[in-house]
Amino acid sequence: MNTSIKTQHEHGTSRESDVIYISLKGIQGLAKKSLAFLFSTQANRKYELVDDHPDAIFIIDFDDFRGKAAWDEMQSHKQASSSKPTILIGLDPINEEGVVSLQKPFRTQDILTAIDTLIEQREEQAQALHNRYPGNSDVVSGKESAQQHKPRMSSSAAASLNEKELHAFIGSAADIDLDDPAAIAAVQYSPERFLAHHLGKMTQVALKERKYLQLGCCDTLFIVDPHKQCIHTDASPRSQRSLGALPMTGKSPAYEKLTKLPADMESRQQCFSWEAFIWRLALAGARGRLPEDTSLDQRYVLRRWPNLTRLMLFPHATRISAAWVSAPLSLREILKELAVPQRYVFAFFSAASATGLLVEAEPASTARKEKPSPDQPSQRRGLFRRLLKTLYRKQGDNRA
Amino acid sequence: MNDHKIIFTGPVGAGKSTAIRSLSDVAPVSTDELATDITRERKEQTTVAMDYGILKLDGGETVHLYGTPGQERFNFMWDILTQGGIGLVLLVNNARPAPFTDLHFFLSAFEKFINSTALAIGVTQMDKAEPGAPTLEDYYKELPPKYINTPVFEVDARQKNDVVILVESLLFSLDQCLEA
């Protein structure tokens, strides 16, 4: 029996083409109801659970005999099913090629991100097909075609997040009680499980030693080029959020040194600014959370301003940068001083830490400029506020 | 009613006129002339007096945007120009042969003004620079210690967003307690 769940599209429309078909294999009872409920609560997507559909995304429970049987059957018809987008879930790490795997327990956001990843992969395959057969209008829509022709630039202008992206990259968690250990634990995540952490570490080594370093992860290669200060990869800009957001399963990826850049990577000429790339991935992984074991009382300082004109910008990022570059501050101090929603500070902390820009302050670091005391407000604060308002309006105009 | 100003400076071809044009609420006044000297190798026209634009704030207040002439022989105006200014936006063309020489020249020329206000640096033409051209990290290493907290961003002066972020960082450098 098909279970149909229809939620309204973000703007009240519900085009048939927007439906995401999901086929569950080996997922029954409460687990099925939970997933059905999860999909029904996604305001910006319309999901439909089906037994089978040519465009379905399969979610298979590897721990259930029916799921295992369904997977075995798909494998036995591999030629026909090779393009079927599949998410395998299981208690143990699953090493199957060509699928997305999630280790239990996982967060609901992980499964939504995994679905997004598969949709993006399918769209990319459709685009690749369209490039091969450009006359076939059935293969890819006009909108997708236009996107394909956008030049891939290693360094593009700052992208300010729209509302949907804000949710995807910063999350929507409410502020917590900073004196409640349980509440703090709930907004922490393990950066080691995400790509940005490993890529960040590797980039610091590559830049310091001036060596090409390569890391393979998630069916994708990443090579840090210390001379061009960028990361070569064949991952498309569209798939980067998924790469950053999906927790890795299995062993931590290891990097290797290369004596030179492989010719095929060089010929592709797709090299992303390392800072912008890691920043974006880190935001996607953190989603407004803090790395676990982060002390709220340890003071941190920015080594330099992040290159904000080329990074994924979110509210308060400039202000947080200014505060953390001018004085060593703990999370508790900066939250109190700026009084902005915690998730923005947590997101900034995660991204700036992954890029290596935010570091623990040395106890003796007092050389930095003293900030004006809050009880002696700048005489020109009123003017600056009005000026900022005008500037933000211009940013809005620019985006429109 | 008070009027205020932000100063844009930098060498020839750094994008001062373009940055002011990106930000100004009115068609900017630019006193460009045909270049007659070495400047001509870089651009047909150069600013011999100054660029001028306006930001109109709510309530009728205005912030004047002044761009200094790129040619050093006009530098007698700089002291007059900066009086009462909010802060300095320094644009450096990374594709010029010695961008650090330019950087130090302008830091020195405006030292008094920067010390009493704030500074934001935009590095332009980073995508057109030769291999081995300075990176943003190199600029930070080159800055004198007293300017170590200065925002330094990659900037395309044609992009309003880039110029907005640069000015925004200038304001937050002056007052971190500032709320939008």
For residue range A294-350, list pLDDT tens digits in order: 999 999 999 999 999 999 999 999 999 999 999 999 999 999 999 999 999 999 999
Interface of A with B in 265-304 (CB under 8 A): 304
Q: With pLDDT > 70 as the criterion, what percentage of chain A qualifies?
A: 79
The tokens 């002696």 sit on which residue? Answer: A376
Q: Do B4 and A383 touch (CB under 8 A)?
A: yes
Hey, is the C-beta of A204 within 8 angstroms of any chain B C-beta?
Answer: no
* Number of CB atoms found within 10 A of residue A44's CB: 14
Contacts of A91 (CB under 8 A, 6+ apart): A63, A103, A104
Q: Which residues 358-387 of A are in CB contact (within 8 Å) with B?
A: 367-369, 371-372, 374, 377-378, 380-381, 383-387
* pLDDT at residue A143 greater than cutoff 50: no
Q: Is A294 exposed, middle or buried (0-12, 13-18, 19+ CB in 10 A)?
A: middle
For the segment B34-89, what is each residue's pLDDT rounded down to a tens digit? 544 444 555 555 555 578 899 999 888 999 999 987 656 556 667 778 888 999 99
Q: If DSSP codes are grouped into helix, strand and coil, which group holds residue A249?
A: coil
The token pair at A231 is: 């990361």
pLDDT band at residue B138, thresholds of 50, 70 and 90?
very high
Using a CB-CB distance cutoff of 8 angstroms, which residues of chain A are in contact with residue B168? 318, 388, 391
Dihedrals phi, psi of B55, to nearest 5 degrees: -110, 120
B153 touches chain A (CB under 8 A): yes
Identify the helix (H) or strand (E) that includes residue B19.
helix B16-23
What per-residue confidence (pLDDT) applies to A365?
59
| A216-231 residue pLDDT tens | 888 788 999 998 899 9
Beta bridge partners of A79: none
pLDDT over 70 at A2, yes or no: no
- First vs last Cα of chain A: how many Å apart? 45
Question: Is the predicted pLDDT of residue A190 greater than 80, yes or no?
Answer: yes
Cα gap A110→A169, rounded to integer Å: 13
Q: Is the pLDDT of residue A268 over 90?
A: no
Among residues B168, B174, B153, B179, the alpha carbon closest in space to that of B23 is found at: B168
Cα–Cα distance for residue pair A347/A289, rounded to 1 Å: 6
Do residues A344 and A315 make contact, with C-beta atoms less than 8 angstroms apart? yes
Contact (CB<8Å) A323/B140: no
Cβ contact (<8 Å) for B161 and A395? yes
CB neighbour burial string for A7-33, b if at least 16 within 10 angstroms, e if fewer: beeeeeeeeeeebbbbbbbbbeeeebe
Which of A39-43, A155-159, A198-202 is predicted least confidently? Answer: A155-159
- Nearest CB to A309; choose among B162, B171, B176: B162
Q: For this complex, say whether ipTM is above 0.85.
A: yes
A312 has which bridge partners?
A159
Domains in chain A, start-ordered, CATH in brackets? 16-122 (3.40.50.2300), 181-360 (no CATH)
Give all strands (DSSP E) within chain A, no chain letters.
19-25, 46-49, 57-61, 86-90, 100-103, 159-160, 188-189, 212-217, 220-225, 230-233, 255-258, 271-273, 290-291, 299-302, 312-313, 329-330, 358-360
**Shortest CA gap A279–chain B (Å):** 15
Contacts with B160 from chain A: Cβ below 8 Å? 394-395, 397-398
Q: What is the dihedral of CA A137, A138, A143, A144, to 10 degrees?
A: -100
Integer angstrom CA distances of residue B118 from A34, B46, B110: 55, 27, 11
Question: What is the least distance, in Å, from the CA of A348 to any CA of chain B?
Answer: 16
Select from B56, B135, B165 the Cβ nearest to the Cβ of A309: B165
Q: Is B108 exposed, middle or buried (0-12, 13-18, 19+ CB in 10 A)?
A: exposed
Residue A260 has pLDDT above 90, yes or no: no
Q: A162 to chain B nearest CA, in Å?
A: 15
Total H helices, total E strands in chain A: 15, 17
A121-129 contacts, C-beta under 8 A, 24 or more apart: A121/A85, A121/A239, A122/A85, A123/A238, A124/A236, A124/A238, A124/A239, A125/A83
Find the closest chain A residue to B85 by CA distance.
Answer: A380
Architecture of domain B3-174: 3-Layer(aba) Sandwich (3.40)
Confidence of residue A136 (pLDDT cuts 50, 70, 90): very low
Of B63, B140, B156, the CB nearest to A157: B156
Report DSSP letters for A123-149, one per residue: HHHHHHHHHHSTT-TTTS-HHHHHHHT
Side-chain-side CA neighbours of A33 within 13 Å: the count stands at 2
What secondary structure does DSSP assign to A64-109, as a single string? SHHHHHHHHHHHHTHHHHTT--EEEEESS----TTSEEEESS--HH
Interface of B with A in 49-108 (CB under 8 A): 55-59, 61, 63, 86
| pLDDT tier, A81 (very low <50, low <70, confident <90, very high otherwise) | very low
- Phi, psi angles (nearest 5°) of residue A20: -105, 120
User: Does residue A243 have a pLDDT over 70?
Assistant: yes
- Of the candidate ranges A156-170, A341-355, B8-22, B151-165, the one whose mean pLDDT is the lowest: A156-170
Q: Is the pLDDT of residue A66 over 90?
A: no
